[in-house]
Chains A and B, each alone.
Chain A
Amino acid sequence: MSKSIEAKNLSAQLQYQAAGNPPSTLPQTAISNAFPGLEMDFRNIWKRILVGIELHESSNFVVAVDDDAPPAAGQLDNDYRLMSIEGIEFMVAVTGPLYPGGDNVSLPDTTFGDPQMSLEWSNALASIIQNYSGKSVHCVFESLENPKKTVKVKLKVRKFFDEADVNGEKVKLAVIAKDIAPPGQLTQSLCSPWQNDYRECACFYWAATRPDYVNVEARPDGTSTGNNWMQKNRTPDTPNVYIVDDWMDINLVNYTDLFRHWEESLRFIIGGKDEQPPQKVE
């Protein structure tokens, strides 16, 4: 017996809310935490894009070199990072205004103070996948210790999509190739939001499920005031003062709180404000 409703084309598939599924299964209402995600960490797809080496999923460091790597690539796991492929650079100077309407200034990495940052892979590698799948490309690596030390080596780009043989013709499928994502790889580095990661991941990292700045009120001078979502024991009378994130601060939820009683420690936020605790029913 046929299904009562089956979405056929792409726009129908994107919008369809199957019977029993909640509204959050639609793209425009999804909880947007697929990065790194609860079901898979899509960033891992880029780790093995070049045959012979393994890249870090979210930066341009080489984390491993395979046995079958070309000899010139042998030293790359010794603190080297990928700088460019076929002239397309992956490190860029980041500039922008520090506040609305401000001048464009250098925005260095907040941890290391490096004004250059590596680009996110899925955007940075799009044209490489498009133009060089299955082909060898010129890669340039740079030593972290000594930026003057570079390694130039040709590596092969793995095919991103699987292929099938249809009537003697190679047909590209809308399926990620097995070589690029061996079993288990896509589920590595998943989030554990109700344990470590709500504490571990800093502000604004979680798009919707991990609020940061709550109970926000605008001030006449254009700035705002509000609370840190991790601030403990908030009541409607708690002053709207943001406590800067610090896992040692006793005013903030810590790891143990999350492990033992995240349900009590964390609060739902509705319309940007703390949800009021439910009234006890006698």
Chain B
Amino acid sequence: MKETIANAPLIQIQRNFGASSCTTPPKQANFHLFDTESGKHILLANGSRIFTISDEITQALEGNADDAEKLFEKFGLSAPAYITDEPLADVSVRSLSLAIAQKCNLGCTYCYAQEGNFGSKNKDMSAEAAMASVNLLFSEVSKGETVNLAFLGGEPLTNRKLLCECTAQAVALSKAKSVAVNFSITTNGTLVTPEDGEFFERHKFAVTVSLDGIGDVHNRLRAFKSGNESYNRILKNIRPLLKMQRDMQVSARVTVTPDNLFLRETLDEFISLGFHSVGFSPMLSSPTGKSEMGQKELDVMLEQMISCGEEFERRVAAGERFPFLNMTNALRELHKGTHRPYPCGAGAGYLGVSADGGLYACHRFVEDEDGAMGKVWDGIDRAKQNLWLSKRHVHFQEPCRSCWARYMCGGGCHHEVIKRGRAACNYIRGWLHYCLQAYIRLLEKRPDYFGV
């Protein structure tokens, strides 16, 4: 039998991380030093600014970390605080995700939606709740702005009729108000038809298909409730969409658990199938605790992510497209110097709507009082939203305040942190450390990749 990473024992695919500084707790709150073949570099947390610096400056900072601010001043690196303690407030909604079907035909054990119904009864969203949601989405925007409408569940295609009605309503409002609208759907792929594909193509959907690996690896994690395998059926359904995608984008999202840590071959396979992009996300918090990643598994995942990243570097350096989503996103944000006090727009410009019309901080908080923010008919409960935004600001999170990665990570997924805690900080820092190195290398090899 050919030995591939898929049949190798976990321990064999785990390289030695003992010598790496990137997976240990952060040394400094305000900067991170890193090396590449071309020299020494620094990331300043304030403003996510990246510099190449001399050995002399590196030594000065290593030796006098407590006086870092004075040294920044001396070297012209100081800057006013980009992010203050002041939280966002009264944020208008720009993106909504609708749980148009709180039910699912798959029985994934780790699902945050507890196999689709969020621990409640199986139900579809009513047309009234759906239309009120779409109207709410267009109620706080002006001509020329853009809104985003996402369909999630459960499996949203179990309520296809309502999905089409919502889309039509959004298109009508888009025209009437001269407000652009972007559509997206996250689907398990088991019910997708070529007609769906034509519909998504017509409305330029971003289609994300949840696939957790190749063949049996996927089947073990994402079987039908009956126990039957789903992989071949999904691929049969998705292949026509992969062929027809022009204006739509069909991407694969892989939830990484201890049972599917073979990212590199998964990435290669899905890219070769023609997915527009392929992204990985670790399972950090499941309602049952099943399939959650521990530190050992996260170390393996980091190893695998870096392996994928190195292939990305090779391909991009050779002028090829290699749509490894985690990497393309990271490089884009690092190049801009994105710095933010929150990990995402949840509870701010982005909200999730339950089948009953409840507003929640995001799709993961549906039916969960921890993230409740009113009803679509009454608008956003500003008091609850503002309380959320003030409590979730990264300056008030521990141990984030002492971590150099805080303005890039934003404190980690609210849902995962509230439900489980911060289990993946070392993984996140390790990944960012690698991405910083890759950014410097690609900036030298392919400046045009960054538009330079």
Q: A: which residues have CB within 8 A of B?
A: 2-12, 14-19, 28, 164, 166-167, 169, 171-174
7 residue pairs bridging A and B, Cβ less than 8 Å apart: A5-B77, A7-B49, A8-B440, A11-B47, A16-B76, A167-B319, A171-B448
A22 to chain B, nearest CB (A): 11
* Pairwise interchain contact B76-A11, C-beta atoms closer than 8 A: no
Chain B residues with CB below 8 A from A174, complex form: 451-452
With a cutoff of 8 Å between Cβ atoms, the chain B residues found around residue A2 in the complex are 38-39, 52, 54
B38, B44, B52, B75 — which one has the most chain A CB atoms within 10 A of its CB? B52
Are B448 and A9 in contact (CB-based, < 8 A)? no
Q: How far is the CA of A2 from the CA of B57 in the complex (A)?
A: 13
Question: Given A166-B448, A172-B451: A9 and B56 within 8 A (CB)?
Answer: no
Is there an interface contact between B451 and A11, defined as CB atoms closer than 8 Å? Answer: no
Do A5 and B334 touch across chains, with their CB atoms under 8 A apart?
A: no
User: Once the chains bind, are B319 and A15 in contact (CB under 8 Å)?
Assistant: no
Say which residue of A4, A6, A15 sits within 8 Å of B56 (CB atoms). Answer: A4
B266 within 8 A of partner (CB): no
At the interface, yes or no: B98 with Cβ under 8 Å from chain A? no
* B432-452 Cβ-contact flags toward A at 8 Å (1 or 0): 000000011001000010011
Which residues on A sit within 8 Å (CB–CB) of B49? 7, 9, 11-12, 15-16
When distances are taken between beta carbons in the complex, the residues of chain A under 8 Å from B39 are: 2
Residues 31-52 of chain B: 1 if any A CB is under 8 Å from the residue's CB, otherwise 0?
Answer: 0000000110100100111111
Chain B interface mostly helix, strand, loop or mixed?
mixed
Chain A residue numbers with a CB within 8 Å of B52 are 2-3, 5-6, 8
Tell me the minimal C-beta distance from A208 to chain B in angstroms: 18
Cβ-defined contact, A15 with B41, below 8 A: no
Name B residues whose Cβ lies closer than 8 Å to a Cβ of A.
38-39, 41, 44, 47-54, 56-57, 75-77, 79-80, 319, 334-337, 339, 439-440, 443, 448, 451-452
Please give me the residue from chain A that is nearest to B335 by CB atom: A9
CB contacts (< 8 Å) of A6 on chain B: these are: 51-53
Distance (whole angstroms) from the CB of B79 to the closest CB of chain A: 5
CA distance A171 to B56 in the complex (A): 38
Q: Is the CB of B336 within 8 A of A11?
A: yes
Contact present for A12 and B448 (CB under 8 Å): no
Determine if B80 and A12 form an interchain contact, defined as CB atoms under 8 angstroms apart.
Answer: no
Given A164-B448, A173-B451, A174-B452: A5 touches B54 (CB 8 Å cut-off)? yes
Query: Which residues from B are CB-within-8-Å of A12?
Result: 44, 47, 49-51, 337
Known: A8-B439, A15-B79; 10 extra A-B contacts, CB below 8 A, are A3-B52, A5-B77, A6-B53, A11-B47, A12-B49, A14-B337, A15-B47, A17-B76, A166-B448, A171-B448
B75 near A5: Cβ-Cβ < 8 Å: yes
Most buried by B among A7, A12, A19: A12
Least distance between B141 CB and chain A CB atoms (Å):
17
A171 and B339 CA atoms in complex are apart in Å by 28
Contacts of A169 in B (CB 8 A): 319
Ordered nearest first, which 4 A-B pairs have the shortest CB separation?
A: A11-B337, A167-B319, A12-B49, A4-B54
For B75, the chain A residues whose CB sits under 8 A away are 4-5
B268 CB to closest chain A CB, in angstroms?
22
A171 to B, closest residue via Cβ: B448
Q: Which of B50, B439, B440 has the most CB of A within 10 A?
A: B50
Question: Given the complex, which residues of A lie within 8 Å of B48, measured CB to CB?
Answer: 9, 11
Q: How far is the CA of A6 from the CA of B42 in the complex (A)?
A: 10
Bound together, the chains give a CA A8 to CA B56 distance in angstroms of 18
Cβ contact within 8 Å between B439 and A9: yes
Docked-complex contact A16 and B319, CB < 8 angstroms: no
Provide the bound-state CA to CA distance between A109 and B145, in Å: 29
Chain B contacts of A18 at CB under 8 A?
76
Could you tell me if B57 and A166 are in contact, using CB atoms closer than 8 angstroms? no
For B439, list chain A residues within 8 Å (CB). Answer: 8-9
Chain A residues in 8 Å Cβ range of B76: 5, 16-19
Distance A3 CA – B52 CA, assembled complex (angstroms): 8
Residue of A nearest to B41 (CB): A8
Task: Indicate whether A10 sits within 8 Å of B56 (C-beta atoms), given known contacts A17-B76, A18-B76.
Answer: no
**A contact residues around B41 at 8 Å (CB):** 8
The smallest C-beta distance from B220 to any residue of chain A, in angstroms, reads 41
* Contact with A5, one of B38, B53, B336, B339 (Cβ below 8 angstroms): B53
Determine how close the nearest CB of chain B comes to the CB of A15; give it in whole angstroms. 5
Residues of B within 8 A of A8 (CB): 41, 50-52, 439-440, 443
A-side contacts of B79, CB under 8 Å: 15
Question: In the complex, what residue of chain A is closest to B321 when comparing beta carbons?
Answer: A169
Chain A residues closer than 8 Å to B337, beta-carbon distance: 9-12, 14
Chain B residues whose C-beta falls within 8 Å of the C-beta of A14 in the assembled complex: 337
- How far apart are the CA atoms of A169 and B54 in the complex, in Å? 36
Q: How far is the CA of A34 from the CA of B318 in the complex (A)?
A: 40
Looking at the complex, which one of B50, B53, B80 makes contact with A9 (CB distance below 8 Å)?
B50
A176 to chain B, nearest CB (A): 13
For the complex formed, measure the closest distance between the CB of B146 and the CB atoms of chain A, giving whole angstroms. Answer: 12
Min Cβ gap A19→B in Å is 6
- How distant is the Cα of A9 from the Cα of B335 in the complex, in angstroms? 5
